[in-house]
Amino acid sequence: MHVAHLSLTDFRSYPTLELPLDPGVTALIGPNGQGKTNLVEAVGYLATLGSHRVAHDGPLVRQGAERAVLRASVLRERRSTLIELELTPGKANRARVNRAPVPRPREILGLLRTVLFAPEDLALVKGDPAERRRYLDELLVTRTPRMAGVRADYDRVLKQRTALLRSAGAAMRGGGGDLRTLDVWDAHLAEVGAELLGARLDLVTALDPLVRRSYRELSRDPGPAPVAMGYRSSLGEQVELTSDRHVLAAALQAAMAQRRREELERGLCLVGPHRDDVLLRLGEFPAKGYASHGESWSLALSLRLAAFELLSTESGGDQPVLVLDDVFAELDTSRRARLADLVAKAEQVLVTAAVPEDVPEALDGARVDVCAGEVRRVR
Amino acid sequence: MYEGVVQDLIDELGRLPGVGPKGAQRIAFHLLAADPADVRRLVAAITEVKERVHFCRVCGNVAQDEECRICRDPRRDVTVLCVVEEPKDVVAIERTREFRGRYHVLGGAISPIEGVGPDDLRVRELMTRLADGVVTELILATDPNLEGEATATYLARLVKPMGLTVTRLASGLPVGGDLEYADEVTLGRAFEGRRLIDV
């Protein structure tokens, strides 16, 4: 698929913007702070209903405006779909597909699919487990939009159960305490948590060989240390991880029963997919703490390439839009060239860079200059 | 900001559910321009509702007397009891004219975030009602959201030792709708709850 036209109203620095786009490579070139990333952020938002830069919608709306409108016309196998999204901070966002309103913005998930590479991706290797969980969960939602609902339910159960652990824990220390409803929340957390955990395990199994392959292709040395991707669950080592939801739910519930006292003392949910991590190994060692800067970058890029590969294969060759936001400036020459070769053949690639020299030659294509919120097609 | 009493009125109206600052202002100015007799009637209705309406001592529904209309009705089936969250749910189910049993209004759902536990709901009253063994089927009609489901599970576990039939309202496809328009969660639930066709 590819984006044929992007139009924005009061989004970030743009009062209005109309940007026609072609398949193939488009480089968005301009000095920092001129609005390049805002453009790819808008494309990403339409695909994931979230920004890779901020957690809330507030900063996305232009200063002084009440709402922002994002609109993209997406071409997929010669069929065109118009996706529109209206962001109103503090209110419910609204979406339309081909001019018809949809009941919830969530319904547009899957119509436009993107894989985004950004400088922040280094945190996938070097950062906290939360970064890696988010990588998995966002990919889950792109793969099966239904998972957006499962994630939302899980967050809600988690909040309810945490609130209960806090109040019940405090009451217990005071001599009283009411644990009757905790059993009920345990069961609900286990049920929704098993769904999320099972889906993540399936995903890691599918990604592992793709990450290995991408890493080999990106690394220059003849025999790079082999990488591997695994999953570490809060259930601990002794529980065998299967994707059978009933087995997982039972294991989660048993683990909660076992750690109940500790959970009450700390007022925290200590069991469940929100405590898990993705294990990335480089040869014998965990990548975090052992991988060099260059190796970490290769691994981070491999994770994104694997996601691209997986989404393309599973939708019968319909490739997601590739977005490379300011990444080439972060890479050494050889990684730059290899990454460029690997992505050059994708159906649509959007690249942002401060100067034209940051875009590798293999990614020769259209060029759009971005300056002070104005865009101009140069080539 | 408006002067004194006008602003007081806007503030009070703005506290009502579903009324924002703009709406409150609009209602306030409507009242200012309205016929005094109309306003007095509104005031009387509000005062009366607070003074005369009680909650039924049996089921917790709104009532003008000690017991509500449904609890006093001898034609209702006393062996079936339907548990709902709010009085407005009673009205919704009554509109179907399908249910001939009686109700029990909990007054909400379990939600630790809002500090609502079983003791804040009319659960003890429900257990007292079930104690004499007259009720043989308990229908759990709490909302099909997370809190409603948790409340239903809690109640089902609580009454299990009493050995009565406990049922939960079905959730699934809306009648008269198209399958293709159902969201995945609803459709998934409908699959889970599919049933045999008797022919």
For residues A62 and A12, is the Cβ–Cβ distance under 8 A?
A: yes
Domain identity same for B91 and B134? yes
Those residues whose C-beta lies under 8 Å from the C-beta of residue B193, and which sit 6 or more positions away, are B170, B171, B172
Q: Does residue A46 form part of some domain? A: yes
Strand partners, B168: B140
Cα gap A152→A141, rounded to integer Å: 11
Q: Does residue B63 form part of some domain? A: no
Q: Does the pLDDT of residue B24 top 80, yes or no?
A: yes
Cα gap B182→A85, rounded to integer Å: 21
Q: Which two tokens stand for residue A8?
A: 């924005």
CATH number of residue A351's parent domain? 3.40.50.300
Cα gap A272→A252, rounded to integer Å: 7
Count of the separate structural domains present in chain A:
1
Q: Does residue B68 form part of some domain? A: no
Report the pLDDT value the prediction gives residue B50, as an integer from 0 to 100: 85
Domain identity same for B78 and B140? yes
Report the pLDDT value the prediction gives residue A302, as an integer from 0 to 100: 94
Give the CA distances from residue B162 to residues B130, B156, B166, in Å, rounded to whole numbers and listed in that order: 8, 10, 10
Which chain B residues are Cβ-neighbours of A161 within 8 angstroms? 112
CA angle A20, A326, A131 (to 5 degrees): 110
Those residues whose C-beta lies under 8 Å from the C-beta of residue B180, and which sit 6 or more positions away, are none
Q: Which residue has the tokens 């240390």?
A: A225
Average pLDDT rounded to a whole number, residues B52-75: 89
CATH number of residue B152's parent domain? 3.40.1360.10
CA angle A237, A191, A314 (to 5 degrees): 80
Domain that holds residue B182: 171-199
- The contact set of A with B (CB < 8 A) is 103-104, 107, 145-146, 149, 153, 156-157, 159-161, 163-164, 167, 178, 180-181, 183-185, 187-188
Q: Does residue B175 form part of some domain? A: yes
Which DSSP string corresponds to A159-218? Answer: HHHHHHHHHHHHHHHTT----HHHHHHHHHHHHHHHHHHHHHHHHHHHHHHHHHHHHHHH
Share above pLDDT 70 across residues of chain B, in percent, rounded to a whole number: 100
Q: What is the pLDDT along chain A (379 residues), one digit of tens a residue?
A: 999 999 999 999 899 999 999 999 999 999 888 888 899 999 999 998 888 888 888 889 998 888 999 999 999 988 999 999 999 988 889 999 999 999 888 889 889 999 999 999 999 999 999 999 999 999 998 888 888 889 999 999 999 999 999 888 777 776 555 677 898 999 999 999 999 999 999 999 999 999 999 998 888 666 667 899 999 998 877 667 787 889 999 999 999 999 998 998 898 999 999 999 999 998 888 888 888 888 899 999 999 999 999 999 998 889 999 999 999 888 888 888 889 988 988 999 999 999 888 888 888 889 999 888 788 888 7
For residues A227 and A218, is the Cβ–Cβ distance under 8 A?
A: no
pLDDT band at B85 (very low <50, low <70, confident <90, very high): very high
Q: Which two tokens stand for residue B98?
A: 């399908």
Which chain B residues are Cβ-neighbours of A153 within 8 angstroms? 146
* Entry pTM: 0.83
Q: Does residue A76 form part of some domain? A: yes
Report the pLDDT value the prediction gives residue A220, as an integer from 0 to 100: 65
Q: What is the ipTM, given to two decimal places?
A: 0.72
Amino acid at A50: G
A-interface mutation test, from B106, B111, B113, B157, most A Cβ less than 10 A away: B113
Domain identity same for B89 and B163? yes
For residues A323 and A28, is the Cβ–Cβ distance under 8 A?
A: no
Within chain A, where are the H helices?
36-48, 123-126, 129-143, 147-173, 180-218, 245-258, 260-266, 287-290, 293-314, 333-343
Report the pLDDT value the prediction gives residue A174, as an integer from 0 to 100: 66
Select the more confidently predicted residue: B71 or A52.
B71
Cα gap A129→B49, rounded to integer Å: 55
Which chain B residues are Cβ-neighbours of A159 within 8 angstroms? 113
- B133 reaches A (C-beta below 8 A): no
How many CA atoms, within 13 angstroms, populate the side-chain half-sphere of residue A141?
21
Domain identity same for B160 and B182? no
Domain identity same for B109 and B35? no
Q: Does residue B65 form part of some domain? A: no
Give the CA distances from residue A378 to residues A2, A5, A18, A370, B167, in Å, rounded to whole numbers and listed in that order: 20, 17, 15, 10, 67
Distance from CA of B11 to the nearest CA of A (A): 21
For residues A145 and A110, is the Cβ–Cβ distance under 8 A?
A: yes
Domain that holds residue A76: 1-113+315-379
For residues B110 and B154, is the Cβ–Cβ distance under 8 A?
A: yes
Q: Do B112 and A153 touch (CB under 8 A)?
A: no
Count of the separate structural domains present in chain B:
3
Domain identity same for B116 and B160? yes
Cα gap A214→A208, rounded to integer Å: 10
Give the residue from A320, A303, A308, A314 showing the smallest Cα distance to A113. A320
Q: Does residue A52 form part of some domain? A: yes
Cα gap A342→A23, rounded to integer Å: 16
Q: What are the DSSP E strand ranges found in B41-142? A: 54-55, 62-63, 80-84, 102-105, 137-140
Amino acid at A5: H
Domain identity same for B86 and B144? yes
Q: Does residue B196 form part of some domain? A: yes
Q: Does residue B146 form part of some domain? A: yes
Give the CA distances from residue A213 to residues A217, A224, B168, in Å, rounded to whole numbers and listed in that order: 6, 11, 50
B-interface mutation test, from A109, A181, A246, A268, most B Cβ less than 10 A away: A181
Rounded to the nearest integer, the mean pLDDT of chain A is 89
Q: Does residue A368 form part of some domain? A: yes
Domain identity same for B81 and B160? yes
Amino acid at A142: T
